[in-house]
A and B are shown apart, each in its own frame.
Chain A
Amino acid sequence: MSNVWLPCGDYHQNYSDDQGWWQSRFIKGKMILLLAVVFVAIPVLAPDYWVGVATMVGYTAMGALGVQLLIGYAGLLTLGHAAFIAVGAYTSTLLVLQFPWPHVFLNWGLAYPLSILAGGLAAGLWSVLFGLPCVKVKGFYLILTTMAAQFITVDFVLTQYVSQIGGRGQAFSLPPGTIKIGPWVVDNDFEVYYLMAILLTLMVIVLANLLRSKVGRAWVAIRDNDIAAGALGINIVWYKLLAFFVAGFMAGVAGAFWVSNTAALSPEHFPWFWSLWLVGVILIGGVGSIQGAIFGSIFMVVIMELLQIAVLPLSDYFPKLLMDFAYIKDMAFGLAICGFLIYEPNGLAYRWWQAKNYFNLWPFSY
C-alpha cells in the first residue's frame, strides 16, 4: 500500500485508523498547503481590505465553533452565544486596563496573553451557569434560557455594572501598544490577522482532538439520544455542562481576540443578532462539522462582501441600493438559510465531503 495515497473506498480497519490525522502523505501535504495559504499566501498576496475580511471570517468562525459544539455535537440549542463572547472581551480588556500587573509581566508582554486565557475561563464558567438549566430542559426551552444569557449578561451585567469599572463610561478604549504578546505588538491589520489565524488554528486542533476522544463520543451520544446515552453509563449532566464550558471558553477567547481588532469595546459590539448570525453560520456551513463552522463563516462574510462590491457600481444609477444594502444583506442571510434548509440541509460541509468522496472513490465514484 502506498503511503502517499489511500486506497480507493472504505479502507479503515479500526477506530484509531479512522480517526487518525495523518493518514497519508497526501493528507499531510494538503494540510501543509492549507497552512501555507492561511499563514503566507493570504497575508502576503491579499490587499489590506481582504486581509481585514479574512480576519472577520476568522472571528466569526471562532464564535461559530462554540455554537457548533453545542448545537452540532452536543445537541444543545443556543441563541445567546454573543453573551459569552462579550464576557471574554470584557474580562480581557479589564484585566489589561485595570489589573495591577507586575512590571515584569508588562515588559515581557504577558498581560494580554494571560488575559485571553482568563477571558476564556470566565466565559466558560459563565456559560456553565447558563447551561445549568440544560439539566432539566432541552429544545425550545433551552433556547429561551440561552437567550436569557444574552439579555442578563450584555444588557444588564456588562452595561449596568462592568462598564462602570474605571469610570470610563460605556466605551473602553485600549491605548496603542497595549495588545502585546511577548515582544510582538499587535497593532495593524496583518498582525491582527496572524493572531486570529493562530488562535483559530489552536481552537480547531483542540476541538477536533476533543471530538475524537471519549468526551467527543459522549457528546455525540447525548446528541443522538440522551436517554440511551445515560443508560450506557454516560454522565449526561457532566458532559452537557462540559460542552457549555468548552463552547464558552472558545467564545471567551474569540471575545478577547476581538479587542485586538478594534482596540475599543462597548456593549453594542455584542448584539443578540450576532448570536442568531452564528447559528445561521453553522446551518449554512453544516451542522455537526468543524469544517461546517469555517465554511459557513467564509460563506456568510465573503459572499456578503462580494455582494456589496457587486452593488457598488450600480449605486450611481440606483442610489437606493446602497441605502438599503443592510436590508439586502439581511434578506440574503434569510434567503441563504431558507435555501440551504430546503436544498442542502446538511450544509456546505456535506458538499465538501461529497467532493472528497468522489475523488477518494475515483475512478469508481458512481
Chain B
Amino acid sequence: MKKSILLSFLIVALVGAFLIGLSTNVIAAKIRVGGMMDTTGATSDVGKDYAIGMAEAFKYINEQGGVNGKQIKYTWFDYGYRIPEAITKYKLLKRLKSVAIMGWGTGDTEALSPTVNKDKIPYVSASYSAHLTDPAKSRYNLFFSSDYSTNARAAITAWFDKKWPSKPDYGKRKPRFACCYMFASPYCSAPIKAIKDQAKMLGFEIGPDQDVSLFALDTKSQIMALKEFKPDLLWHGNTTMSVSATIRDAYALGLNTDWIVDNWGFDENLPRLAGDAAEGVMGATPCAFFGQNYKNMDIVVKMAKKYNPGIPLEKRLIRTVQAWGDALITWEALKRADKAGDLSGPGIMTKGFETMRNFDIGLGASPISFTATDHRPTTGCLIQEWKNGKFQVVERVDLKKRWPEKWAKEWLGW
C-alpha cells in the first residue's frame, strides 16, 4: 500500500513537472537563447569551465538590461559530446523557440550545420573549425575566435619566425614537423590540412601524423615513433588533458622538440598537469587568460565570484573568457537586430552579426568582423608560450597582412 502511494506520488510529481516544463515554453517578453555544452563527455576537461562561464555571462547580460530591455532566458543542456544526443537537444531547443544557440564541439556543430542553415538559427559555437567560416556553405555558423586553421597557421609561423632562427641547425637543413591529434575527432583533424599547407609553404619537412586519443593518458608508443623522425616542432591538436599527457611522455622519453598547441589544449591547467615539460610550449590564444589585465576582465572575474563562489578563482580557466567572447558577440548581435526590429534568424545575421566591423569584446581577443561573404572573425591570432611560470607573448601573427592574396582567395573555409 505504502509502495503504491509512493509510486503514485512520484508519477504525479513527474507529470506535474512535465506539464510545468511544457508551460515554461511560453515566456512572455523574454528572448530564449539555447545552449549545448559538454560537461561530462570527451571534452569536458575544457567544456565544464566554458559552460559555467557561458551561464555567468548571460546572467551578467540580464543584469545589464538584457537585449534592449528584454531579458534573455538561457536554457542549456549537457549533451556529453554525443552526436545523436546533440541532434535531439538541438531539436528541443528549436521547439523552445530559441532565437540563437550557443553550441560546443566540432563534430556536432558540423553535423548540425546543414540543419541550422535550413532552420536559419544563428549557431554560435565553441568549435572554431574553419569549415564553418564560409557563409556560402554554413551561413548561420559563427564564433568570436580566430578559427583553428588560422590558429595553426599562426602558431607554426610564429615558431618559424621566432624560434627556428635560434636553433643550431638553422640554415643547414629544413625544419622537421609532425602532428599529434585524435584522427577520429573532427575538432582535432579540422586544421591539419591547413597547417600542413602552411608548413609546406614555409619549407618544413613533414613527418608522419600520430594518433593520440582525447582520453589518452599514455602516449609512449607515439613518442617512440616520433623519435625516429626527430621533429623540431610538433603540433598538438587535442584538449588539455591529452596534450599534457603527450608533452609529459615526450619530456620523460627525451624527445627533444618544441610544441605548438591548438587553443583548446593550451590553458592554465597545462603547466599544472605537465609540470616542467610545459616549459616553452607555445599555443594559440583566442583571448586573454582568466584574470589577465584587460578592459572587461574585472567583470568576468566579478561574475565568477558572484555566481559560482564555490569554485576558487585560481581554478578558473581561459575557457570562461572564451565563453564570454561568444556570449558578448551574441548579445551585441541581438541588440543590433532588435534595434532594427528584426529578431528573426536572418535578421540577427544580417542586421546583427554581419554588421560587426572590428568589434572589440575587451577581453584580449582580436577585433571581430563578419560579412555576408566571410565569417572568419579575425585575421590572425596571438601566440603565447609558457615560460618562467607565466604565459608570455611570442607574436601576434596577422595572416591577412602577411599573405593578403592567399587570405582573400585561397584560405576561406578550410
Interface set of A (CB-CB < 8 Å, partner B): 47-49, 52-53, 56, 59, 154-155, 158-160, 163, 167, 169-171, 173-174, 176, 187-189, 261-269, 271, 273-274, 301, 305-315, 319, 322-327
Contacts and interface: CB of A to CB of B under 8 A. Distances in A.
Given A159-B183, A171-B106, A268-B83, A326 B40 contact: yes
Interface stretch (B17-25, B260-268, B360-368): B17-25
Given A171-B107, A309-B18, A310-B21, A48 B76 contact: no
User: Closest 6 A-B residue pairs measured CB to CB?
Assistant: A49-B95, A326-B80, A52-B91, A159-B184, A310-B17, A263-B114
5 contacts: A53-B88, A262-B112, A271-B82, A309-B92, A326-B85
Contact of B92 (A155, A271, A308): A308
B332 interface: no
Given A169-B189, A326-B41, 13 more contacts: A52-B88, A53-B88, A59-B84, A160-B183, A171-B111, A171-B186, A176-B118, A262-B111, A264-B110, A266-B111, A273-B82, A310-B17, A323-B78
Contact of B39 (A52, A59, A324): A324
B180 interface: no
Given A56-B84, A309-B22, A326-B41, A47 B78 contact: no
Contacts of A170: 183-186, 189-190
Interface residues of B, number: 51
Given A268-B186, A322-B76, A173 B82 contact: no
A171 B131 contact: yes
B75 interface: yes
A269 B110 CA distance: 12
Interface string B34-78: 000101110000000001000100000000000000000001111
B195 to A, nearest CB: 12
**Secondary structure of the A side of the interface?**
helix
A173 B110 contact: yes
A154 to B, nearest CB: 7
Contacts of B193: 167, 169
Interface of B: 14, 17-18, 20-24, 37, 39-41, 51, 55, 75-85, 87-88, 91-92, 94-95, 106-107, 110-115, 118, 131, 137, 183-186, 189-190, 192-193, 211
Given A155-B184, A173-B113, A309-B21, A319 B189 contact: no
Contacts of A264: 110-114
Contacts of B183: 159-160, 163, 170
Given A306-B18, A324-B78, A47 B84 contact: no
B107 A268 contact: yes
A49 B51 CA distance: 24
Contacts of A322: 75-78
| Interface hub of A268, A313, A326 (most chain B Cβ within 10 A) | A268
Given A310-B21, A327-B40, A269 B84 contact: yes
Nearest to B24: A313
Contacts of A301: 88
A159 B77 CA distance: 28
A230 to B, nearest CB: 40
A48 B21 contact: no
Given A261-B87, A273-B82, A49 B185 contact: no
A319 B95 contact: no
A326 B78 contact: yes
Contacts of A155: 184
Given A52-B88, A312-B24, A169 B186 contact: yes
B186 A266 contact: yes
A266 B94 CA distance: 23
